[in-house]
Structure 1
Amino acid sequence: MTSSHAPLRRDFASDNYAGVHPEVLAALAEANGGHEVAYGADAWTARLQDVLRAHFGPTAQGFPVFNGTGANVLSLQSMLPRWGAVVCAETAHVNTDENGAPERVGGLKLLTVPTPDGKLTPELVDRQAWGWGDTHRAQPGVVSITQSTELGTVYTPQEIRDLTEHAHALGMRVHLDGSRLSNAAAALDVTLGALTSDVGVDVLSLGGTKNGLMFGEAVVVLDPEAVSGIEYLRKVDMQLASKMRFASAQLVALFEGDLWRRSAAHANAMAARLRAGVESVPGVRLTQPTESNAVFAALPAGVADQLREVRRFYDWDAAAGEVRWMCAFDTTEADVDAFVAAIRAAVGTATV
């Protein structure tokens, strides 16, 4: 436990490490007054629907859930029959970081495609989008993309439109895992709708926890015809909160005004500062473009473990010495500059 007198520690492991934004805490406190009807029939959840329609259009409908895994599983499960399959990148969160939940809970088959930068293209989708009518093959029904990707890269609106038009022409739907959608929109200086409803995305997992919420994401259905039984599946998947007002109040606080953009833009700026600080350090090789709030780099042997004594972060490919550094809404310039200094010192020691 951190002492009240100890300096605050901010790491570079994940934006999930960050605390709760003060404006979100204030919204939680406000929502805590009095009684509200349970299971989503509350004023905050009704207000959230208006907020989401302002971003994503008049047909948008939001279903708050507890976490990102729940949002992804519920989205995909509601979009597919039992024999359906999802085409996604090999690096997709649904494939690498959800412990089989899409398969075990959702009953889905994931058809993965290797990509150099975490992004799918129509040509890459076609590697797995085949076999309709073949009894022996799971039937491809959904293309799932992540924005921004697990490698920190960002799809442009045109790239997403190309994917949705291609998928729809094949009779498939498109799901977007938007756990860091805010970071992508801030990086491109576009609206949330410009990356989703405006370019043909059918269902969105809208993230909040990585951008300052205590808990809570939302499945946002953009095309009502893309899903079936989502109200019941949310209960089956154990994602129906009784005190839903507290999830909804946080999402309202984040998306009703510009808090989502302010927080994401700051995290992106800190990642850009970190990249600028290390790109001239001998022995450090940046392995992906820094387009959102992630920096990927390859370090000399032993340096990562030495640096983790200063700030926590994760290996991405330990065999290659590749690591991932994430910035959050509360990362400061002083945090970045101190970490850059530590990197310089550690690399200098390793290369002497």
Structure 2
Amino acid sequence: MMKGFASDNYAGVSPEIMEAIAKANLAEHQGSYGADEFTGRAVGMIKEIFGAPDAEVFFVMNGTGANVTALQTMCRSYEAVVCTEMAHINTDECAAAEKFIGGKLLYLPSKMGKLNIDQIRPLLGGRGEHQALPRVISITQATEVGTLYTVEEIKAFAEFAHENGLYLHVDGARIANAAVSLGVSFKEMLTDTGVDVVSFGGTKNGMMMGEAVVFLNPELARDYRFVRKQGMQLLSKMRYVGAQFEAYLSDNLWYKNARHANMLAQKLGEKLSKLDGVALMCPVEANGVFVELPREITSTLQERFPFYIWNEETNAARLMVSFDTTEVEVNEFVQMAEELIG
């Protein structure tokens, strides 16, 4: 398949990550289910980069597993998770959250992918035992349309949640892109703001597989080991995920990959926005470009550069830039679009 802009999941694996996996494979026999030196070191690195020595960190197989098991730990079956209508847990995880929580997703309309606190207030009045009780606010950083919550907004959500007996969960599939774009550390964006639990992803930024569930509120992790096992997310050879996170967090690889993708996404958005009949759907703040294209050029562009249409009604395309996207590919895409329009 030709390289394009369909998904940052289409990209391969960073050479540094692949090398780390190979080295882990050459090591002597290691303990299973996380009782290995690679997992131990990686957990320590995550605690350090989050500035949270008391955090509890667990590795799982994928992003859906991270989100679902985290939320299952935070909610009971008669409780609810508040999210946007386009949240990944609502649109792209096959109702896994609702199946495993046994509760409800209360999804609200978003403005450019983001929730606001005033939308949530009416849900708190409740009708006693007749209504699923909100227990968790789940936000995505960066959002499903590539926009970002500021540090101040995240802090406000955490304060609102805690004042009302709720928890704050962050779906961080593209959390590295968000941190780089905002120019802040994970500690400043997540730990210091009061976030309770983070689904910490790296697969979309150069890792092969595996995610981390980071309990910044360690009390919530009390039963997580059992939830993870029952949820089929406990890897026997966990050292291969630990080795990836070790490499990912070493020498700022996470930062370099995310910065590269963000930079080229900015260039792609800027260049496309100057073409006749093309309009940005929302600001380019991470590594996603959401842009309305002339319908007559779309299929021809897709034949050369695979990408998805996000909104059929407006013909808005989702163009995802990866850590291995090149400036040549960005320029070629824009040039082809310009020629087709012309």
Do the aligned partners of 1:73 and 1:106 also contact (CA within 8 Å) in 2?
A: yes
Which residue is equivalent to 2:180? 186
2:124 aligned with 1:152, yes or no? Answer: no
Q: What is the deviation of 1:29?
A: 0.8
The whole-number CA distance in structure 2 between the counterparts of 1:51 and 1:100 is 33
Do the aligned partners of 1:113 and 1:127 also contact (CA within 8 Å) in 2?
A: no
Displacement over 6 Å in runs of 4+:
none
Which residue is equivalent to 1:27? 20
* Residues 201-230 of structure 1 deviation map (CA, whole Å, 9 limit, x = unaligned): 000000010000111111011111234411
The whole-number CA distance in structure 2 between the counterparts of 1:167 and 1:257 is 35
The whole-number CA distance in structure 2 between the counterparts of 1:103 and 1:119 is 21
Report the residue type matching 2:148 in the other structure: V
Structure 2 CA distance for partners of 1:249 and 1:129, relative to 1, 3 Å: farther
Three-state SS of the structure 2 residue aligned to 1:302 is helix
The whole-number CA distance in structure 1 between the counterparts of 2:329 and 2:123 is 43
Q: Identify the match of residue 270 of structure 2 among 276, 290, 293.
A: 276
Q: Give 5+ residue unaligned stretches, structure 1.
A: 3-8
The aligned runs of 1:293-312 (5 Å cut-off) are 293-312=287-306
The whole-number CA distance in structure 2 between the counterparts of 1:345 and 1:242 is 52
Report the residue type matching 1:345 in the other structure: E
The aligned runs of 1:32-51 (5 Å cut-off) are 32-33=25-26, 34-51=28-45
Paired residues in the alignment total: 340
Three-state SS of the structure 1 residue aligned to 2:129 is coil
Do the aligned partners of 2:287 and 2:320 also contact (CA within 8 Å) in 1?
A: yes
Q: Identify the match of residue 320 of structure 2 among 316, 326, 332.
A: 326
The whole-number CA distance in structure 2 between the counterparts of 1:305 and 1:138 is 44
Report the residue type matching 1:76 in the other structure: L
TM score, norm. by length of structure 2: 0.97
Which residue is equivalent to 1:62? 57
* Residues 100-138 of structure 1 deviation map (CA, whole Å, 9 limit, x = unaligned): 11012332310011011111121122243341x611111
2:79 aligned with 1:84, yes or no? Answer: yes
2:95 aligned with 1:100, yes or no? Answer: yes
Do the aligned partners of 1:212 and 1:329 also contact (CA within 8 Å) in 2?
A: yes
2:123 aligned with 1:139, yes or no? Answer: no
Q: Identify the match of residue 75 of structure 1 among 49, 70, 76.
A: 70
* Aligned-residue RMSD, C-alpha: 1.2
Which residue is equivalent to 1:6? none
TM score, norm. by length of structure 1: 0.94
Higher helix share: 2
The whole-number CA distance in structure 1 between the counterparts of 2:23 and 2:107 is 44
The whole-number CA distance in structure 1 between the counterparts of 2:44 and 2:221 is 20
Do the aligned partners of 1:86 and 1:109 also contact (CA within 8 Å) in 2?
A: yes
Do the aligned partners of 1:173 and 1:226 also contact (CA within 8 Å) in 2?
A: no
* Residues 15-61 of structure 1 deviation map (CA, whole Å, 9 limit, x = unaligned): 10100000000110111122101001110111112101112211122
Higher mean Cα deviation, 244-253 or 300-309?
A: 300-309
Do the aligned partners of 1:179 and 1:208 also contact (CA within 8 Å) in 2?
A: yes
The aligned runs of 1:221-236 (5 Å cut-off) are 221-236=215-230
2:333 aligned with 1:339, yes or no? Answer: yes
Which residue is equivalent to 1:212? 206
The whole-number CA distance in structure 2 between the counterparts of 1:159 and 1:281 is 33
Report the residue type matching 1:226 in the other structure: L
2:9 aligned with 1:16, yes or no? Answer: yes
Which residue is equivalent to 1:5? none
Q: Identify the match of residue 258 of structure 2 among 245, 261, 264.
A: 264
